[in-house]
């Protein structure tokens, strides 16, 4: 090999080494509901590490948190989310319906109706349970002060409301064992309406989101019982101590399935589709499911669910489809302006 | 014995109070007291809860109000910025400002197209400015002065970086330092003689920016190419004009004698091919707005035009001076004759703010706005200028009439500006202009122009 060849080789080597790496920095915005802060703090770190290893690119995920309904409205009003991870399907449907940022069939694009984890509603009470709250019917007793967010803005509050309503229907059914389909009767409906009305009469403060309600109950020490997302209740105990609070599992609760989706028009405009899709798919991976479970969300993956089985108590859960005919019907009847909640709470 | 009596007295007192023999107390009273105490405790707890609830409700209301304020647009009306509407995040804004100049003019001497002494609305300009998406500015300024309507500024600025911005639309050609001043900020009511050699509004695109922390500004534009002392709305030929300007303030921001010194250089180059219908040639005006110079009939611009202008602005405390030298060379032709003609002009204009405020390239802002009852009288500024315009002697007689237009005009001016506040200004100028030639009897008569103005800007 002559000297010219050597020189060419060296020059080529210098050139190649001088070529900058193609690693880039990608930013995503995840618009989420209120109580998922800790979950996504941990999850985002894990995903960023995973993506860096896989592609060499740096992913920076910015989070926005708030009441699920409020967050949906923010996206409708122009907040450019790459992904939305909200408390209930109706809020994501509203985005698809009003501004068509993704197709109406979004829920079928990921497994389990695009809900990588589930949760439910439990009661968080003061240590020792001084008001002896054991079930939903204890909440309507005089002198019991209940903390729940506002169903007009919070997804968790809507789950609370519907769980209470479902309990009332079930309670009516138990009281009328001889009546066929008692829980579907108009009398049962009236009973449930009265029950939920009494419940909300015991609510002194309505926060806009679940995290605000946690602050009210835990830090401001207001109320005797907090109708809480299961994960929020566990987090409160973890953070503030099992000597201050305890969890009461009601006889009946609701299966909450917080869904997620990529916001197609935003990711296509920004060129972040591949990362955004991978981000949500990572929620379904073993690592993602493990993180969810560690943050007290009930995982879908069988293997992870078994690993954390002891962490999650047995709860009898109804589904929104079975009792209310789905979110569209429930939202329209109970939470739209002028709906049952407005009538109960006296909002004009 | 005294001690025994004392004990009996004490026991007696205790007996009467019921404390000595508690087993004799009625059975319910202790329990009642305990119940009472428990009831009071319960009541205190309830009151504490009520107090906490009220405090929390207040906190939630404050949070909601703060969030709402974040999303709410901000409406302001100020003497500095006029009326404005701004989005909560500042990315969008609309400002409405205005300029009204009401003049009184008395001009004698000169010749030709001399207007009658008159009151006139020199400029009436609503000014619409704003920002879109944080990085795009716009400005639209129509003018209704003199009873006619025209468009002045209409452009967009794309602010990529402070060092690199792009302007597109209709704007002042980046050339003459006096011409580039806002018409509300000029020292005199009318521009000096050399500004006749500068282009006014043109249409095109330019890149511009500030370098070295604002100490060096640059503009480089490609425009249709307006004639001297003229504006243009659409090109007359297929050629364009390049305009470039550099302006440096090397000691900007420093507390030094030279802190207010700015020096610059501007140039334009373009090909201007006129026709008999659109000659592409300028008309120069005197201070009193009479015709100072026009090319003869049949003359057209025919080829390249170059302009150069070294320029300066300096201020130190209440003293300010503006100076520029301008050459404007162009090829003209008439029938078979072609000539390259170079007109030149220069001026020095000085100002001094008698009331002590700083002289600036922009308007003086009085420390104490006019308030006669409190004995404050705004800011007073005296101004003076000396300037000259030379028409190329080769212009005469082929390309212009020497008995109609002078070869040289020399101007001395003095004036007084009274700034009531940052919005209102009264100004009175006197300009004396003498001429070489330009009349059948030799030199054109001297022009004496007295121009008074009341100006409102907001």
* Mutation site for B-interface testing, chosen from A204, A214, A224 by largest number of B Cβ within 10 Å: A204
Q: How far is CA B225 from the centre of its chain?
A: 25
CA A304 to chain B, closest CA, distance in angstroms equals 39
CA of B198 vs chain A CAs: smallest distance (Å): 46
Average pLDDT over residues B372-377: 92
Element counts in chain B: helices (H) and strands (E): 3, 22
Q: H or E stretch including A124?
A: strand A121-126
Tell whether B45 lies on the interface with A, counting CB pairs under 8 A.
Answer: no
Residue B7 has which token pair? 């004990």
- The average pLDDT across A30-43 equals 94
CB contact under 8 A, B56 and A221: no
User: How confident is the model over A15-30, as a mean pLDDT?
Assistant: 69
CB B425 within 8 A of CB B351: no
Residue A2: its pLDDT value, please?
54
Give the nearest partner residue to B52 out of A207, A208, A220, using CB atoms: A220
Residues of B in contact with A216 (CB under 8 A): 56
pLDDT, position A13: 47
- Average pLDDT, integer, range B365-377: 92
CA distance A6 to chain B (A): 44
Tokens of B68: 């709402």
Shortest Cα–Cα distance, B38 to chain A (Å): 15
| Cα of B51 to nearest chain A Cα, Å | 10
Lowest mean pLDDT among A42-56, B99-113, B257-271, B343-357: B99-113
Q: Residue B352, CB half-sphere, CA atoms under 13 Å: how many?
A: 5
pTM of the model: 0.65
Residues A314-343 pLDDT 10s = 999 999 999 999 998 999 999 999 999 999
Complex ipTM value: 0.77
Q: Which residue of A has its CA nearest to B43?
A: A143
Which residue of B47, B48, B56 to mutate against A (max A Cβ within 10 Å)? Answer: B56
Q: What is the per-residue pLDDT across B78-134, written as a single tens digit (0 to 9) for each?
A: 877 778 888 877 889 999 999 999 999 999 875 555 567 889 899 999 999 999 999
pLDDT reported for residue B307 = 97
Q: Which residues of A touch B38 (CB under 8 A)?
A: none
Beta strand ranges found along B317-437 (DSSP E): 319-334, 337-353, 379-390, 408-419, 424-436
Contact between A212 and B60 using a beta-carbon 8 Å cutoff? yes
Of A145, A207, A208, the CB nearest to B49: A145
Give the closest of A208, A212, A222 to B53, CB-based. Answer: A222
Q: Locate the chain A residue with the closest alpha carbon to B42.
A: A143
What are φ and ψ of residue A173, in 5° steps? Answer: -60, -40
CB proximity list for A201: less than 8 A, separation 6 or greater: none
Give the mean pLDDT of chain B. Answer: 90
CB contact under 8 A, B57 and A221: no
pLDDT for the residue numbered A149: 93
Indicate which of A145, A222, A223, A226 best probes the interface with B, i.e. most B CBs within 10 Å of its own CB: A222
For position A20, what pLDDT does the model report?
44
pLDDT in tens, B393-437: 999 999 999 889 999 999 999 999 999 999 999 999 999 999 999
Closest Cα in chain A to B61: A207
- Partners of residue B63 in chain A, C-beta under 8 Å: 212
pLDDT band of B69, cuts 50, 70, 90:
confident
Q: Inter-axis angle of helices A68-76 and A155-175, to 10 degrees?
A: 130
Q: Is A199 exposed, middle or buried (0-12, 13-18, 19+ CB in 10 A)?
A: buried
What residues of A are in contact with residue B62 (Cβ under 8 Å)?
A: none
Which of A205, A208, A226 to mutate against chain B (most B CBs within 10 Å)? A205
Smallest CA–CA separation between B67 and chain A, in Å? 12
| pLDDT of A95 over the 80 cut | yes
Q: Say whether residue B64 is in contact with chain A using an 8 A CB cutoff.
A: yes
Give the confidence band of A179 by pLDDT, cuts at 50, 70, 90: confident
Question: Residue A288 is encoded by which pair of tokens?
Answer: 């993602």
Instruction: Compute the count of residue pairs across chains A and B with CB atoms less than 8 Å apart.
Output: 22
Q: Which residues of B touch A221 (CB under 8 A)?
A: 52
B56 vs A contacts (CB less than 8 Å): 205, 216, 220, 222
- Strand B118-132 and strand B93-109: the pairing is antiparallel
Nearest Cβ partner for B53 among A204, A208, A212: A204
**pLDDT at A11 > cutoff 70:** no
Superfamily of domain B96-457: Porin (2.40.160.10)
Give the residue on B whose Cα is nearest the Cα of A145: B49
Of the candidates B52, B60, B64, which has its C-beta nearest A221's C-beta?
B52
Q: Are B407 and B397 spatial neighbours (Cβ–Cβ below 8 Å)?
A: no
Task: Please answer whether residues B100 and B82 qualify as being in contact, where contact means their C-beta atoms are separated by less than 8 angstroms.
Answer: no
User: CA A251, CA A165: separation in Å to the nearest integer?
Assistant: 13
pLDDT score of A159 more than 80: yes
Say whether pLDDT at B287 is over 90.
yes
Is B56 an 8 Å CB contact of chain A? yes
Q: What residues of chain A have any CB closer than 8 angstroms to a CB in chain B?
A: 145, 204-208, 212, 216, 220-222
Question: Is the model's pLDDT at B171 over the cut of 80?
Answer: yes
CA distance B366 to chain A (A): 45
* pLDDT tens-digit map of A96-142: 999 999 999 999 999 999 999 999 999 999 999 999 999 999 999 99
pLDDT in tens, B204-233: 999 999 999 899 999 999 999 999 999 988
Name chain B contacts of A213, Cβ cutoff 8 Å: none
Contact between A182 and A188 (Cβ < 8 Å):
yes
pLDDT of residue B285: 95
Q: What's chain A's Rg over C-alpha atoms?
A: 24
The mean per-residue pLDDT over the stretch B260-264 comes to 95
Cα dihedral A279, A284, A290, A291, rounded to 10, equals 30
Number of other CB atoms surrounding residue A62 within 10 Å: 12
**Percent over 70 (pLDDT), chain A:** 93
pLDDT surpasses 80 at B273: yes
Query: In Å, what is the CA distance from B346 to each residue of B184, B287, B288, B429?
Result: 22, 14, 18, 19
User: Nearest CA of chain B to the CA of A152: how many Å?
Assistant: 14
Q: Does B52 touch chain A (CB under 8 A)?
A: yes
Six token digits for residue B173: 């050609």
Q: For chain B, which residues make up each domain, given as ranges? A: 2-70, 96-457
pLDDT at A17 over 50: no
Q: Cβ contacts (< 8 Å) between A208 and chain B: which residues? A: 60, 64
Q: Do B56 and A208 touch (CB under 8 A)?
A: no
């Amino acid at each position: 090999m002559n000297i010219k060849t050597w020189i060419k080789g060296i020059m080529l080597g210098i050139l190649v080494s001088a070529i900058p790496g193609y690693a880039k920095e990608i930013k995503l915005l995840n618009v989420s509901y209120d109580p998922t802060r800790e979950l996504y703090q941990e999850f985002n770190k894990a995903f960023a590490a995973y993506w860096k290893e896989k592609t060499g690119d740096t992913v920076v995920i910015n989070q926005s948190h708030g009441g699920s309904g409020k967050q949906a409205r923010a996206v409708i009003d122009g907040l450019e989310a790459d992904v939305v991870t909200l408390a209930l399907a109706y809020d994501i449907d509203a985005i698809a319906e009003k501004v068509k940022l993704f197709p109406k069939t979004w829920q079928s694009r990921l497994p389990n109706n695009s809900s990588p984890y589930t949760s439910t509603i439990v009661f968080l009470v003061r240590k020792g349970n001084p008001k002896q709250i054991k079930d939903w019917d204890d909440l309507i007793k005089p002198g019991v002060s209940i903390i729940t967010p506002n169903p007009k803005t919070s997804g968790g509050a809507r789950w609370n409301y519907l769980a209470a309503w479902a309990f009332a229907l079930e309670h009516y059914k138990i009281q009328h064992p001889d009546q066929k389909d008692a829980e579907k009767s108009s009398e049962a409906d009236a009973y449930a309406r009265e029950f939920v009305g009494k419940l909300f009469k015991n609510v002194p403060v309505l926060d806009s989101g679940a995290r605000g309600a946690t602050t009210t109950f835990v830090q401001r020490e207001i109320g005797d019982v907090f109708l809480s997302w299961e994960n929020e209740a566990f987090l409160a105990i973890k953070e503030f101590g099992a000597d201050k609070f305890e969890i009461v599992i009601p006889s009946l609760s609701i299966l909450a399935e917080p869904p997620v989706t990529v916001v197609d028009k935003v990711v296509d405009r920004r060129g972040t589709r591949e990362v955004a899709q991978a981000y949500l798919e990572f929620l379904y991976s073993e690592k993602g499911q493990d993180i969810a479970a560690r943050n007290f969300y009930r995982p879908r993956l069988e293997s992870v669910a078994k690993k954390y089985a002891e962490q999650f108590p047995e709860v009898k859960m109804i589904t929104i489809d079975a009792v209310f005919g789905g979110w569209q019907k429930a939202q329209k009847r109970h939470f739209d302006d002028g709906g049952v909640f407005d009538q109960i709470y006296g909002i004009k | 014995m005294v001690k025994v009596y004392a004990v009996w007295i004490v026991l007696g007192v205790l007996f009467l109070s019921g404390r000595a023999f508690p087993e004799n107390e009625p059975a319910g009273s202790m329990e009642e007291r305990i119940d009472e105490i428990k009831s009071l405790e319960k009541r205190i707890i309830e009151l504490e809860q009520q107090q906490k609830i009220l405090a929390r409700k207040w906190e939630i209301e404050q949070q909601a109000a703060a969030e709402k304020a974040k999303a709410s647009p901000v409406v302001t009306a100020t003497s500095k910025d006029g009326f404005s509407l701004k989005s909560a995040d500042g990315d969008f804004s609309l400002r409405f400002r205005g300029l009204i100049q009401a003049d009184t003019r008395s001009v004698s001497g000169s010749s030709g197209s001399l207007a009658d002494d008159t009151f006139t609305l020199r400029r009436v300009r609503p000014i619409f400015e704003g920002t879109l998406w944080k990085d795009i500015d716009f400005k639209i300024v129509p003018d209704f002065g003199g009873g006619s309507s025209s468009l002045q500024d209409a452009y967009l600025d794309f602010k990529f970086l402070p060092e690199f911005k792009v302007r597109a639309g209709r704007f002042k050609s980046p050339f003459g330092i006096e011409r580039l001043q806002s018409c509300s900020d000029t020292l005199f009511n009318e521009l000096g003689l050399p500004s006749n050699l500068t282009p006014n509004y043109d249409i095109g695109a330019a890149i511009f920016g500030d370098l070295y922390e604002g100490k060096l500004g640059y503009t480089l534009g490609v425009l249709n190419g307006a004639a001297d002392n003229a504006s243009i709305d659409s090109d007359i030929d297929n050629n364009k004009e390049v305009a470039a300007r550099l302006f440096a303030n090397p000691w900007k921001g420093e507390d030094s004698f030279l802190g207010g010194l700015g020096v610059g250089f501007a140039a334009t180059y373009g090909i201007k091919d006129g026709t008999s219908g659109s000659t592409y040639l300028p008309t120069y005006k005197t201070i009193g707005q009479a015709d100072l110079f026009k090319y003869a009939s049949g003359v057209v611009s025919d080829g390249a035009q170059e302009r150069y202008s070294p320029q300066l602005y300096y201020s130190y405390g209440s003293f300010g001076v503006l100076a520029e030298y301008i050459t404007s060379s162009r090829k003209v032709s008439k029938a078979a004759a072609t000539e390259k003609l170079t007109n030149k002009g220069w001026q020095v204009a000085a100002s001094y703010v008698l009331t002590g405020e700083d002289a600036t390239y922009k308007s003086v802002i009085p420390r104490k706005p006019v308030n006669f009852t409190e004995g404050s009288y705004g800011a007073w500024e005296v101004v003076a200028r000396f300037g000259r315009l030379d028409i190329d002697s080769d212009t005469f007689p082929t390309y212009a009439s020497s008995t109609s237009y002078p070869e040289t005009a020399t101007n001395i001016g003095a004036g007084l500006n009274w700034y009531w506040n940052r919005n209102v200004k009264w100004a009175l100028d006197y300009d004396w202009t003498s001429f070489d030639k330009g009349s059948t009897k030799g030199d054109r008569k001297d022009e004496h122009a007295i121009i008074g103005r009341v100006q409102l800007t907001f």
